[in-house]
Chain A
Amino acid sequence: MSELLSGTAIRPWIERLLADGKRVAGPQRVHEDLVQYAWLTSADQLALDGFVRPSNSIKEVVFPRHEQLYGYQFKGKRIELLPAELPTKEQIVIGARPCDAAALPALDGVFNWDTQDEFYNRRRELTTVVTLACGAYDAHCFCTSVGLGPGDVRGSDALLIAVDDENYEVRCLTDKGRRLFAGVTTESSAVGRVMEGPPVQFDLDKLGAFLAGGYDNPAWQAAAMRCLGCAACAYTCPTCHCFDIVDEGGPSGGTRVRNWDACQFSMFTAHASGHNPRGNQGQRQRQRIYHKFQIYPEKFGALLCTGCGNCTRNCPAGLGVLPILKTIAPTP
C-alpha cells in the first residue's frame, strides 16, 4: 500500500496552505525557457514538469539573498539597537529537486560551527521540503558523481514520485512530512519508479588525491582562463553560502544587513592595504573547488556540492565545477 497525491488534489491543497498564512515555494515557469523556484501567490503558478531543474536553488528559503540582521538608531551619542524580526511563518517547498534538498543538511554544518546562526536555524525549523524525484537529466547533471541520485531523500521531509502524468506517490520521511500530507493523500497501490541517474562523470577518489597535492598545479590557471569573475555559479548554487555584511541607512539610523557574496569576485579577499591573496581568477576558481570538495567535507563531513549542474548551465562561459573536475579527475 502506498500514499497517492492525486493531480486534482494538488491545487486545493496549496490554496489551503496559502490561505492558512503559510509561505509556499516551488518551481514556476517565468518564461518559455526559464523555470525558477519562487514564492507562490497562487497554486496555479506551480510547475512540476517539462523541465530538468529550475535555474536557481531553494537555498533562498533558509538563506535569503538579503537579510536584515538588526537595526540601529542614532540617539545623540548613543545607539539603540532594534533586534531583527525572525520569521514566524511556516515555509513549505513543493517540488524541490533531490539535489536542492540535499544541500540543506550540508549547510547545517557551517551555520552551526561553534556558534549558532539563529537566522538560518529559525528558517530551517520553519521549512518543510517536499522533494520531487527527477524525470529527466541533462549533460550538466552529476548528482550520481557525488553520491546522490534522482530519488535521493537527503534533506527531504517527503518525496514525490510520479506514477503517471498527473499523480504522485508520496513517501513521507519525517514527522514534518507526515503532518503536511495528513488527510491530503489517499491510499493506493500505485508505486512510482525512480529513474536511473546519469552516468558518473568523474572519480571522487581521484579528485581527493589530486586536491591533496594539486594546490600549485597549473591546471587552475588554465581552467579559469575563460572565467569572467561573476557570481552566476555561486548564486544559483544550492550550497554556496558566502556573505557580506553592510550597513544601509541614513542620518537617523539604518539596518545592518547580510547579502550574498561570492569568492569569484576579484575583491572578495582584498585587504585594506591593497594586498589580495587571491588576486587572479585561477586562485579564485581553485578556492571554489577546494572549498567544495576538500575543506568543507573535512570540517563538516559533507561535500559542498550536490551535482545539480546549475553552475555550468548558468555560466556565460560554460565553466562551473564539472568541466574542471572532469579535467583533473576523469573516470577511467
Chain B
Amino acid sequence: MSANIYQPDLMEVIQVRQQTADVKSVRIAFRDPEQARAFSFRVGQFGIFSAFGAGESTFNICSSSDWTDFIEFCFRRTGRVTEALWNAEEGDTIGFRGPYGNGYPLEKWKGKNLIFVGGGIAMPPIRCAIWYALENREQFGDVTIVYGARTVGDLVFANELDRWAEFEGVRVVRCVDPGGETPDWKGEIGFVPTVVERANISGENAVALVVGPPIMIQFTLPVLAKIGLPDASIYTSLENRMKCGVGKCGRCNCGPVYVCKEGPVFTLEELKRMPKDY
C-alpha cells in the first residue's frame, strides 16, 4: 500500500459476466498476494476502479465481505470509463482504490428481519448484503427480496434470484414493469413500489434496504412507512459523483455530509436531515 492515497492497487480480471445488454459484472483479484492477504472490507462500501488510460469510476463492491478470492463490481456501459471497462477480458489489469465509505451497519441488523428492495442497476449494492446475510443465515431473521427492472432483460444477477429463494426463510419477489414481461415470465408485473405493497411484507422487527432510481425510492418509502418501519430502520445507498473517494476533491457533499466519507449508506432519518444535494 503506497503512501500515495490516489494510487490504486493492481487487480487481475478473473471473470467477466454479461448481465444485461449494457451491464457487466467483473471479478478482480489482487495481483500482489500480500495486498490480498491484508485486504478486507464491509459490505456496503465502495471502491474506485481504474481503466488505465480512460480514468476512474466509482462502484459499490457487490461481492460478500466473506469471499476472499476476489471482489466484484457491476456497471452499466454509459461513458468513457465504463466503455473501457466493458472491453476488459480475463487477465487484464484494473486498478482498485478502497474500500471507501461506511458500509451497512450489520451489527444493528442482527436478529432482525431483512427487507431488500431494489430496482434495475441498483441490485449490486444490495446483492453483497444479501449474500452476506444468507451465508450468515443464523444472524438474521426472515429475508424478503423485492427486485424489479423495466424488462426481463434488465434484471441484473437474475440467475442468483433463484438461488436465494432456496435458502430457508427467504422470499424472493421479482417483477418487471408492465410491458416488460416475456411470454414465459412467471414473476410479478408492476412497478416496484406497487409490488412491495402487494407483497404484504411484515414490518415487525425489520429493517429495509432500498436502492434504486429516485422515483422508485420516492414511492417505496410510504409503503414501508405504512407497514410500520420507522425512518431509522430504512436504509439506502446514495450515489453521488465522486473523484477522490477520500473527502478531498470537494465534489460529493450534501451539505456537511460527504457521501464518500460519511456515506454512501444512510438511514432515511439521516437523509431527511441532509440537504437535497443528491
Contacts and interface: CB of A to CB of B under 8 A. Distances in A.
A253 B95 CA distance: 14
Contacts of A69: 4, 6-7
Contacts of B4: 69-70, 83-84, 118-119
B243 A243 contact: yes
Contacts, number: 128
Nearest to A77: B91
B6 A70 contact: yes
A222 B56 CA distance: 36
B141 to A, nearest CB: 34
Given A115-B246, A116-B5, A271 B277 contact: no
A295 B250 CA distance: 11
B256 A244 contact: no
Contact of A113 (B82, B89, B247): B247
Contact of A83 (B7, B53, B79): B7
The A interface is mostly helix, strand or loop, or mixed, namely mixed
Interface residues of B, number: 46
Interface string B247-267: 111111111100001000000
A45 B146 CA distance: 69
A78 B249 contact: no
A241 B252 CA distance: 14
Contacts of B89: 77
Nearest to B249: A243
A295 B275 CA distance: 12
B256 A295 contact: yes
Interface stretch (A125-133, A175-183, A256-264, A319-327): A256-264
Contact of B276 (A243, A271, A277, A294): A277
Nearest to B276: A277
Nearest to A246: B55
Contacts of B52: 72, 74, 79, 247, 253-254, 256
A246 B252 CA distance: 17
A70 B5 CA distance: 11
B79 A272 contact: yes
Most chain B CB within 10 A, of A77, A83, A241, is at: A77
Interface in A265-311: 268-273, 275, 277-278, 283, 287, 290-291, 294-295, 298-299
Taking residues whose C-beta sits less than 8 angstroms from the other chain, chain A's interface range is 35 or more
Contacts of A283: 277
Given A114-B246, A295-B256, A269 B240 contact: yes
Contact of B56 (A113, A118, A245): A245
Interface in B28-61: 31, 50, 52-56
Contact of B7 (A70, A77, A241): A70
A104 to B, nearest CB: 15
Interface string A59-96: 00000000001101010011101011000000000000
B78 interface: yes
B69 interface: no
Nearest to B57: A272
A198 B91 CA distance: 64
Contacts of A113: 246-248, 261
A253 to B, nearest CB: 8
Interface of B: 2-7, 10, 31, 50, 52-56, 76, 78-79, 82, 89, 91-93, 95, 213-214, 239-241, 243-244, 246-256, 261, 275-278
Given A72-B53, A119-B4, A272-B79, 8 more contacts: A115-B247, A116-B3, A243-B248, A244-B249, A254-B53, A261-B249, A270-B241, A294-B256
16 contacts: A77-B89, A77-B93, A79-B93, A110-B250, A113-B248, A241-B248, A241-B250, A242-B250, A243-B249, A253-B53, A256-B52, A258-B6, A263-B250, A269-B252, A269-B277, A272-B82
